[in-house]
């Protein structure tokens, strides 16, 4: 083979080895001259004449080489803190080829490092446009932390570190938000996130590693504050004992009190019941007190109003009303629920008095939509599964979902109306023995705003030996009309779905999945 003793000709080398030129551009190899000088001459290899070089081929040296690192395309959109120590970070990073490893946040008096595995990842269409790519990659990232200690706002440095060691640094301002505003913004962000796939699963999956627990802890703080020293005013008789206490949780709409009183005041025996309205909206307290005063004068009902300092959520608000109840029977009811029959109270009392305690310690009733179709005849829990379609044997992602028996069925479908034990009943109406309710500790207050507290309580009751029942004392339910539904409530529902699955997933899986179809491996089935 002809050889040359001439010095290394870099132009010829790169021209005949275009892959090397590309490699140099992306920083994967040393320059052609350094490559030859270090490895070619050191190993006594001669310089091959151009005509003998094998084209379109990269020769690997087998030795480690230094990469030329360049900062990835990235952005930090938001760094926000609250007085109680909540931290919210949002941005995006091009880590499709070189995965994100961590995010470090530095402020003068504090710092925190987030492992990439704990971040929520989501689709960012704006980043896809900026990068000029339509790849199915979640460039967006976000995280939330409740530090439970003051975090100063102001000048902030954020460092994004990739697996390769590449870093991108940003100087931003950490702005300060009120605690309630922080909760609203973070939950709205969660509700509005876009994904490559089913948001039902991916929203829950995004918060499962760490964010979910942080949001629950932060919400617990706000719930405790909302429950401190509520304002309570009584209208009507004082010092009486009642057959039952009807507890109604209000949010945003005081006008449903007057309508509900007009409907229930016609019921025979309503004088043996008191109403307790507990408000999660401080701004409606004055209107609520005025309505209660009018209802007592016009309809002759006894009403207590419990006004909270903030939105404590459905479960905590109902718990807060119980100490003011003057009876041994609690009826938890939504503001948009009304009697279906003129003798609802008589039917309810007949169930309480005529059935054994295990059937009345916790029960619900059939509820109807305004078009006359059945809305609720008890509830059951479904296990939704998102199968893993990639390589490797991985269990499917599972999320619990609560559904209503008979939803949409004709009004008189007998099999749904028969008294029977059911896995759960809706919090739109629950009748409870007060002693049993208090023994179980009331509703779990970890859930954000509302959703899943009712099913959680029913499963808690079942685990303690009392299964929920359904008795035929019907009600109308104008579902969703009794309160305003905003983006933060949708985000809260995602957090609650995660928490409910985390709390009850193994229990429900043990009882439900055994009857589900089995996924067969290839070759596992046999004929005959």
What is the distance between the alpha carbons of residues 232 and 245, in angstroms, rounded to a whole number? 16
220 and 231 belong to one structural domain: no
300 and 426 belong to one structural domain: yes
Supply the pLDDT for residue 71.
84
Tokens at 346, concatenated: 């008589």
Among 268, 273, 233, 223, residue whose Cα is nearest residue 449:
223
Supply the pLDDT for residue 396.
60
Out of 19-33, 113-127, 387-401, the most confident range is: 113-127
Percentage with pLDDT > 90 across the chain: 74
Supply the pLDDT for residue 482.
57
Residue 36 falls inside a structural domain: yes
Percentage with pLDDT > 70 across the chain: 81
Arithmetic mean of pLDDT, 306-316: 95
CATH number at 110 reads 2.60.40
Sorting pLDDT into bands at 50, 70 and 90, what band is 2?
Answer: very low
CA 288 to chain centroid, in Å, comes to: 31
Q: Among 224, 242, 272, give the residue marking a domain's end.
A: 224
The angle subtended at Cα 282 by Cα 278 and Cα 284, nearest 5°, is 80
What is the distance between the alpha carbons of residues 316 and 109, in angstroms, rounded to a whole number? 35
| Domain count within the chain | 3
What is the distance between the alpha carbons of residues 31 and 9, in angstroms, rounded to a whole number? 12
Among 120, 115, 127, 175, residue whose Cα is nearest residue 151:
175
Enclosing domain of residue 184 = 74-224
107 and 249 belong to one structural domain: no
C-alpha dist (Å) from residue 270 to 45, 196, 235, 243: 103, 54, 16, 9
Higher pLDDT, 76 or 8: 76
DSSP string for 84-138: TSEEEEEEEE--SSS-EEEEEEEETTEEEEEEGGGSEEEB-HHHHHHHT---S--
Are 357 and 392 a contacting pair, CB within 8 Å?
Answer: no
Supply the pLDDT for residue 253.
85
448 and 493 belong to one structural domain: yes
Sorting pLDDT into bands at 50, 70 and 90, what band is 188?
Answer: very high
Strand pairing report for 244-250 and 329-333: parallel
Sorting pLDDT into bands at 50, 70 and 90, what band is 527?
Answer: very low
Arithmetic mean of pLDDT, 369-393: 83
What is the distance between the alpha carbons of residues 431 and 228, in angstroms, rounded to a whole number? 26
Give the largest Cα separation in the chain, rounded.
Answer: 114
491: enclosing H helix or E strand = helix 487-512
Q: Among 224, 257, 284, give the residue marking a domain's end.
A: 224
458-490 tens-digit pLDDT:
999 999 999 999 999 999 999 877 566 789 999
427 and 459 belong to one structural domain: yes
Strand partners of residue 251: 483
Residue 119, pLDDT > 60, answer: yes
Residue 58 falls inside a structural domain: no
Residue 522 falls inside a structural domain: no
86 and 216 belong to one structural domain: yes
Sorting pLDDT into bands at 50, 70 and 90, what band is 31?
Answer: very low
319 and 380 belong to one structural domain: yes
C-alpha dist (Å) from residue 75 to 63, 122, 282: 35, 14, 38
Average pLDDT value over all residues in the chain: 85
| 269 dihedral zone (left: phi>0; alpha: psi -120 to 50; beta) | left
Higher pLDDT, 280 or 526: 280
Residue 517, pLDDT > 60, answer: no
- Phi and psi of 63, rounded to 5°? -120, 150
Among 68, 50, 61, 66, residue whose Cα is nearest residue 14:
50
CA 337 to chain centroid, in Å, comes to: 27
Per mean pLDDT, which range of 68-77, 372-381, 390-399 is the poorest? 390-399
215 and 243 belong to one structural domain: no
CATH number at 370 reads 3.90.550.60
Residue 7, pLDDT > 60, answer: no
Higher pLDDT, 324 or 33: 324
Supply the pLDDT for residue 516.
41
Per mean pLDDT, which range of 35-49, 107-121, 175-189, 344-358 is the poorest? 35-49
148 and 290 belong to one structural domain: no
255-282 tens-digit pLDDT:
899 999 999 999 999 999 999 999 999 9
Residue 63 falls inside a structural domain: no
What is the distance between the alpha carbons of residues 13 and 35, in angstroms, rounded to a whole number? 11
Residue 6, pLDDT > 50, answer: no
Residue 205, pLDDT > 80, answer: yes
Are 102 and 61 a contacting pair, CB within 8 Å?
Answer: no
What is the distance between the alpha carbons of residues 395 and 483, in angstroms, rounded to a whole number? 39
What is the distance between the alpha carbons of residues 96 and 307, in angstroms, rounded to a whole number? 51
Sorting pLDDT into bands at 50, 70 and 90, what band is 430?
Answer: very high
What is the distance between the alpha carbons of residues 411 and 304, in angstroms, rounded to a whole number? 34
Supply the pLDDT for residue 509.
79
| Residue position matching structure tokens 């009733």 | 365
Higher pLDDT, 56 or 286: 286
41-85 tens-digit pLDDT:
444 444 444 454 445 555 545 555 455 567 899 999 999 999 999
Return the beta strands (E) in 231-348 as ranges.
Answer: 231-235, 244-250, 273-279, 302-307, 329-333, 337-339
Supply the pLDDT for residue 514.
42
Sorting pLDDT into bands at 50, 70 and 90, what band is 288?
Answer: very high
Q: Which residues contact 295 (CB under 8 A, 6 or more apart)?
A: 235, 257, 258, 261, 301, 303
Higher pLDDT, 128 or 515: 128
217 and 233 belong to one structural domain: no
247 and 207 belong to one structural domain: no
167 and 250 belong to one structural domain: no
What is the distance between the alpha carbons of residues 299 and 430, in angstroms, rounded to a whole number? 24
Supply the pLDDT for residue 432.
98
Residue 64 falls inside a structural domain: no
| Residue position matching structure tokens 């006594």 | 44
398-423 tens-digit pLDDT:
899 999 999 999 999 999 999 999 99
Sorting pLDDT into bands at 50, 70 and 90, what band is 522?
Answer: very low
Residue 524 falls inside a structural domain: no
Residue 526 falls inside a structural domain: no
Buried residues in 135-145 as b, exposed as e (16+ CB within 10 A) = eebbbbbbbbb
Supply the pLDDT for residue 376.
96
136-174 tens-digit pLDDT:
899 999 999 999 999 999 999 999 999 999 999 999 999
Residue 518, pLDDT > 60, answer: no
Residue 213 falls inside a structural domain: yes
Q: Among 176, 196, 224, give the residue marking a domain's end.
A: 224
Supply the pLDDT for residue 136.
87
Supply the pLDDT for residue 395.
56
Among 407, 343, 381, 328, residue whose Cα is nearest residue 512:
381
Are 234 and 275 a contacting pair, CB within 8 Å?
Answer: no
CB atoms within 10 A of CB 327: 17
For residue 49, give the DSSP letter: P
What is the distance between the alpha carbons of residues 188 and 182, in angstroms, rounded to a whole number? 10
How many residues does the structure list for the chain? Answer: 528
Are 117 and 100 a contacting pair, CB within 8 Å?
Answer: no
């Amino acid at each position: 083979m002809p050889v040359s003793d001439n010095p290394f000709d870099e132009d010829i080398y790169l021209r005949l080895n275009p892959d090397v030129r590309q490699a140099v551009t992306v920083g994967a190899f040393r320059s052609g001259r350094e490559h030859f000088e270090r490895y070619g001459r050191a190993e006594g290899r001669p310089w091959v004449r151009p005509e003998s070089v094998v084209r379109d081929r990269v020769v690997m040296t087998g030795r480690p080489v230094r990469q030329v690192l360049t900062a990835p395309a990235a952005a930090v959109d938001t760094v926000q803190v609250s007085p109680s120590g909540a931290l919210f970070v949002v941005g995006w990073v091009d880590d499709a080829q070189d995965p994100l490893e961590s995010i470090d946040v530095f402020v003068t008096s504090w710092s925190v490092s987030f492992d990439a595995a704990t971040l929520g990842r989501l689709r960012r269409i704006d980043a896809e446009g900026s990068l000029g790519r339509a790849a199915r990659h979640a460039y967006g990232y976000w995280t939330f932390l409740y530090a439970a200690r003051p975090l100063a706002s102001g000048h902030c440095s954020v460092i994004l570190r990739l697996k390769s060691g590449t870093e991108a640094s940003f100087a931003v301002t950490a702005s300060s938000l009120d605690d309630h505003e922080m909760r609203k913004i973070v939950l709205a962000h969660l509700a509005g996130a876009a994904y490559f796939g089913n948001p039902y699963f991916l929203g829950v999956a995004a918060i499962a590693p760490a964010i979910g627990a942080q949001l629950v802890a932060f919400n617990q703080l706000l719930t405790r504050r909302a429950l401190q020293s509520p304002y309570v005013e009584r209208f009507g008789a004082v010092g009486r004992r009642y057959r039952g206490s009807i507890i109604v949780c209000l949010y945003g709409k005081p006008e449903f009190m007057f309508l509900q009183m007009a409907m229930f005041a016609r019921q025979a025996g309503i004088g043996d019941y008191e109403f307790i309205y507990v408000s999660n909206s401080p701004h409606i307290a004055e209107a609520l007190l005025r309505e209660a005063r009018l209802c007592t004068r016009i309809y002759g009902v006894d009403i207590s109003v419990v006004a909270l300092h903030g939105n404590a959520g459905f479960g905590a608000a109902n718990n807060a009303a119980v100490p003011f109840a003057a009876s041994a029977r609690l009826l938890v009811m939504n503001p948009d629920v009304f009697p279906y029959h003129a003798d609802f109270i008589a039917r309810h009392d007949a169930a309480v008095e005529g059935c054994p305690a295990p059937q009345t310690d916790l029960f619900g009733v059939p509820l109807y939509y305004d078009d006359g179709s059945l809305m609720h005849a008890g509830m059951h829990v479904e296990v939704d599964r998102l199968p893993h379609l990639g390589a490797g044997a991985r269990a499917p992602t599972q999320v619990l979902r609560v559904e209503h028996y008979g939803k949409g069925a004709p009004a008189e479908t007998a099999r749904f109306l028969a008294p029977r034990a059911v896995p759960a009943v809706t919090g739109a109406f629950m009748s409870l023995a007060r002693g049993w309710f208090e023994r179980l500790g009331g509703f779990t207050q970890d859930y954000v705003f509302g959703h899943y507290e009712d099913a959680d309580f029913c499963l808690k009751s079942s685990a303690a030996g009392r299964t929920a029942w359904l008795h035929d004392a019907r009600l109308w339910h104008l579902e969703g009309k009794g309160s305003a539904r905003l983006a933060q409530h949708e985000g809260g529902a995602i957090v609650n779905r995660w928490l409910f699955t985390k709390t009850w997933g193994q229990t429900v899986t043990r009882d439900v999945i055994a009857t589900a179809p089995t996924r067969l491996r290839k070759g596992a089935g046999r004929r005959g």
